[in-house]
Amino acid sequence: MSKHVLHALRHTDPQLAWLIRAEEKRQFDKIRLIASENYVSRAVLEASGTVLTNKYSEGYAGKRYYEGQEFIDQIEELAIKRAQDLFGAEHVNVQPYSGSPANLAVYLAFLSPGDTVLGMALPHGGHLTHGANVSITGKYFKAFSYGLDEGTHQLNYENIRALALEHKPKMIIAGHSAYPRIPDFERFRAIADEAGAILMVDMAHFAGLVAGKAHPSPIPYADVVTSTTHKTLRGPRGGIILCKEKYAAAIDKAVFPGVQGGPHNHTTAAMAVAFKEASLPAFETYAAQIVANARALATALTKRGFTLITGGTDNHLILADLANKNISGRAAAVALNAAGIVLNCNAVPFDKRKPFDPSGIRIGTAAVTSRGFMEAEMEQIAVCIDEVIRAPEDAALHARIAGEVASLCSKFPPPGLG
């Protein structure tokens, strides 16, 4: 466990201090396979918890609405420069509070209410903000969705092209939150050009893999790219927008004052740290290992009779359909959590079950790779998952596996906690 002691908080609010330490212990003792989670470094944690949280900074560097920005401006400019260098982007806005506000800012920059957009269907691996009807993006815009091929469960670019030519969207959205393969950004660019559409890529899930050169970059092909800074990028809970210089003014105006007020300066500083860490050679090794671990875990699960969407993975995540295991995704996730393995239930393409109790589970390897887990540990994880799925109501088995998991985790202290 971390030697970091919450002295002031323990004195002021011991109840909250206990809850934070309990969460820290949970993160230490359990195998965390939620694809959108990770461990940040102690340096990122420290930057997140500084006096920068005391400062309000509406506007942009050199053009603020409050005084006292001489150091804040330098911090934001440093984060921007590091992100530009890391991703090879012409312009970067580091102020979005997270990925969803970043996406909303892009809508505001390029669209008017009622304009047509084309994005990946939520049940097929897209995100809420890609035009789902329960999201503001599906309520305020005329949203159409493309899905996966029913036979291969992979993107069907001819179908996407046909939809784009039929509906003539003003913006096409590529990217995903539960698709285990690599999108063809060049083909998306060609489709967008033919349809006369702006191309936006949401790389929130695979930004760290792009930074670590383990995944193709969408930057050369997209007009605008959005991302969170956590997940595979291993930074704080924030968002960024990367775009061509000709769109810089529209994007900046859409972020502020368009969808939000002052930026969270402590998060901006933590982003700067994360971008610096991601620029180091060790991060390339890390990104490659995320993919290697995902493939190893996919192979191990397949050997045990698990049905994987697309048959495997090219990135950090695995999507498994548990229909042949006679258990729902939610029941599996609950049982696995009791056994010390944390992941989320997830809809699979053409799922016959309801979204809150779907057929699948989503598995990600970014956090366990941050701990130093390798292919051998992926085999152990697969064994544990298989045992739990075979006996989802066996509390004694779950307790035994939870103990084994805690013992394994003790050998791999996570960044920021160990």
Q: Are the beta carbons of 364 and 346 closer than 8 angstroms?
A: no
Encoding tokens for residue 32? 């965390």
Query: Choosing from 25, 42, 56, 157, which is the catalytic residue?
Result: 56
Query: Choosing from 58, 77, 184, 375, which is the catalytic residue?
Result: 58
Query: Choosing from 231, 325, 330, 362, which is the catalytic residue?
Result: 231
- Residue found under tokens 């779950």: 398
Judge whether 237 counts as a catalytic residue. yes
DSSP string covering 254-318: IIIIII-SS--HHHHHHHHHHHHHHTSHHHHHHHHHHHHHHHHHHHHHHHTT-EEGGGS-SSSEE
Label residue 275 exposed, middle or buried (CB < 10 Å: 0-12, 13-18, 19+): buried
Query: Choosing from 21, 55, 237, 244, which is the catalytic residue?
Result: 237
Judge whether 357 counts as a catalytic residue. no
Long-range CB pairs of 47-55 (<8 Å, 24+ gap) are 47/236, 47/266, 47/269, 47/270, 47/272, 47/273, 48/236, 48/266, 48/267, 48/269, 48/270, 49/266, 50/266, 50/269, 52/265, 52/266, 52/268, 52/269, 53/264, 53/265, 53/266, 55/265
Strand partners, 143: 117
Q: State how far the Cα of 417 lies from the Cα of 357, in Å rounded to an integer.
A: 33
Judge whether 231 counts as a catalytic residue. yes
CA quadruple 406, 362, 22, 340: dihedral sign: negative
Judge whether 228 counts as a catalytic residue. yes
Amino acid letter, residue 183: P
CA quadruple 3, 6, 10, 16: dihedral sign: negative
Q: State how far the Cα of 163 lies from the Cα of 165, in Å rounded to an integer.
A: 6
Tell me which residue of 82, 80, 74 sits closest to 57, measured CA to CA.
Answer: 74
Query: Choosing from 116, 129, 226, 228, which is the catalytic residue?
Result: 228
Judge whether 252 counts as a catalytic residue. no
Q: State how far the Cα of 240 lies from the Cα of 8, in Å rounded to an integer.
A: 32
Query: Choosing from 60, 161, 179, 202, which is the catalytic residue?
Result: 202
Judge whether 146 counts as a catalytic residue. no
DSSP string covering 310-350: GGS-SSSEEEEE-GGGT--HHHHHHHHHHTTEE-EEE--TT
DSSP 148: B
**Residues noted as catalytic:** 56, 58, 202, 228, 231, 237
